[in-house]
Structure 1
Amino acid sequence: MSIKLVAIDIDGTLVNNNREITPEVFDAVQKAKAAGVKIVIATGRPLLGVTPILASLNLLDEGDYLITYNGALVQATASGEAFIDEPLTYDDYLDIEMESRRIGTPLHSITRSAVYTHNRDISKYSVNEAYITGLPLKYRSAEEMKKHEIIKMMYIDEPEKLDETIKKLPQRFLDNYTIVKSTPFYLEILNKNASKGLAVKHLADKLGIAYEETMAIGDEENDRSMLEAVANPVVMANGNPELKKIAKYITKSNEKSGVAHAINEWVLN
């Protein structure tokens, strides 16, 4: 059975180490789209933060979709309309914020339109997140966050300190939320029903695409759920060795246009 949906991570996967889309990757994506394959970017970023990438790949047409916020939103790229929306509640916010204070780890919160911090001493990691996503960074008190729809929250700290934070999280906390370490200094906390894997499943169901017709390509632990959710998991040569254990295919590295190799070998052949 042919592949009809390919979900693709960005950093370490779609782009090379200079965050560029190589001509080989561009050509492979265009051929797949012309053949009727749904190419779906799956990212922790918001739509605004990946629009330049979508535009460069011609993925802003009617019928193109995007998984954002690590699966909390699935959106039509042309309109931004979300048909899967799994935000956090304000009670979740208070719970996550209280745990942040108990452990002593900074955090910020992200909506569709901004990055919010209640820290008067603003972390460099909050500044970095605003830069990467293209969202404004704003200060708001915990009380003021009640009126905002929070898509995800992030514990942020130096890598070794964040590792200690993870060890201190109670089991109750791990059970109540989807928790993803997206970089060495970001621990993302989402609605329990939000993950790249669940988003891929829901999107395939919406489009009438069978499990056997799904593929995902990734490189790191935050891609695990979507790799486990598809029939054809592909891990980059530069990917996490633990992920390679669940791969059906190992493709070339991101520096050698591994996404193009995967599409040409296992989608278009």
Structure 2
Amino acid sequence: MEKVSLIALDLDGTLLDDSKEIPPENIRALEEARDSGILVAISSGRMIPRILPVEERLGLDCIILAYNGGKVVGPKSEGRPLISERPLPADIAEIFIRFSQEGDYLLNFYKDDVLYSEDSPNRRRFMDIYSTRTGAEYNIEDLTGRIGQEPTKLILLADPAERDRLHDHFSAELGDRAYITKSDPEYLEIMAPGVSKGTALEALGNHYGFSVENVLAVGDAENDNPMLETAGIGVVVANGTAASKAVADHVTERTNNEAAVAEAVRRFALK
């Protein structure tokens, strides 16, 4: 087994428990990893402003892989250098803007680390879900004015069964023109082709000079799968989805509520 140079951690459902807190044992294990010279990266579908408060609570100087790999920045100690960024093409964004307007769907439009959306009673229900989970603040506007722009990422929100239907529909319609994946039960996430948590790991390896074989990645859901498959050691927490467990090298005995990250770090990085 290769020596671990970097630990890449998903947030929701992985590092964070169901109350959106970090189990203290996770913090202790990651501090030990840092003290042994291992880099720590937070790898999330969240926007950067909603990742930084978690980093602060963690108390570590982390590399940030945001927007499912759509934007990667270095740690605070290095001045947060931009390592990679690949926005979604404007023509794909327009398809989802018009679809959301016609069907009264909530569409999260991320541009320059700001979240934009349109409002309606139906959309408000999903805004409440998303804001409660992430702490994100919405800027309400007519997204027609965003047509022609390239967002960092989009999220289309719908009830889980409808989300799954939309995933299959748009995956078939757009093919390799976009990367479409599922994360939380209501989220359909849309990124530029070639963008994923896996390609973000490759960009990090090129930047810092290590092989992806030296990465321990820990996640729980399908948007983590490219990262789990790219990393030398891909670990899914016990509460993870069946689809993610199918591609993982290992599954923890513990859930995210039981400090599963600490189990993975101590088992595979601290030996």
- TM-score (normalised: structure 1): 0.89
- Opposite residue 230 of structure 1, the aligned amino acid is A
Comparing 148-157 with 162-171, which one deviates more in the overlay? 162-171
Shift of 1:101: 5.2
Residue of structure 1 equivalent to 2:183: 182
Report if the CA contact (8 A) 1:48-1:134 is conserved: no
Alpha-carbon displacement from aligned partner over 1:85-116 (angstroms, at most 9, x marks no partner): 11123322212223445666442312233221
Name structure 2 gaps, 5 residues minimum: none
Name structure 1 gaps, 5 residues minimum: none
Residue of structure 2 equivalent to 1:95: 95
Report if the CA contact (8 A) 2:73-2:81 is conserved: yes
Report if the CA contact (8 A) 2:93-2:150 is conserved: no
Residue of structure 2 equivalent to 1:260: 262
Comparing 173-182 with 239-248, which one deviates more in the overlay? 239-248
Residue of structure 2 equivalent to 1:28: 29
**Distance verdict in 2 for CA 1:105–1:146, change over 3 Å:** closer
1:142 and 1:15 map into 2 onto residues whose CA distance is: 32
Query: What is the 5 A alignment of 1:1-269?
Result: 1-60=2-61, 64-78=62-76, 79-100=79-100, 105-121=105-121, 122-146=123-147, 149-169=150-170, 171-251=172-252, 252-269=254-271
**Distance verdict in 2 for CA 1:214–1:145, change over 3 Å:** same
**Distance verdict in 2 for CA 1:58–1:148, change over 3 Å:** farther
**Distance verdict in 2 for CA 1:140–1:102, change over 3 Å:** closer
Alpha-carbon displacement from aligned partner over 1:56-113 (angstroms, at most 9, x marks no partner): 22223xxx31100111010124134422111123322212223445666442312233
1:170 and 1:254 map into 2 onto residues whose CA distance is: 30
- Opposite residue 213 of structure 1, the aligned amino acid is N
Report if the CA contact (8 A) 2:201-2:212 is conserved: no
1:212 and 1:73 map into 2 onto residues whose CA distance is: 22
Comparing 134-143 with 48-57, which one deviates more in the overlay? 134-143
Spell out structure 1 runs of 4+ moving beyond 6 A. none
Report if the CA contact (8 A) 2:20-2:133 is conserved: no
Alpha-carbon displacement from aligned partner over 1:153-186 (angstroms, at most 9, x marks no partner): 1211222222332343362413211111111111
Report if the CA contact (8 A) 1:48-1:133 is conserved: no
- Opposite residue 75 of structure 1, the aligned amino acid is V
- TM-score (normalised: structure 2): 0.88
What is the root-mean-square deviation of aligned Cα atoms in Å?
A: 2.2
Shift of 1:243: 2.3
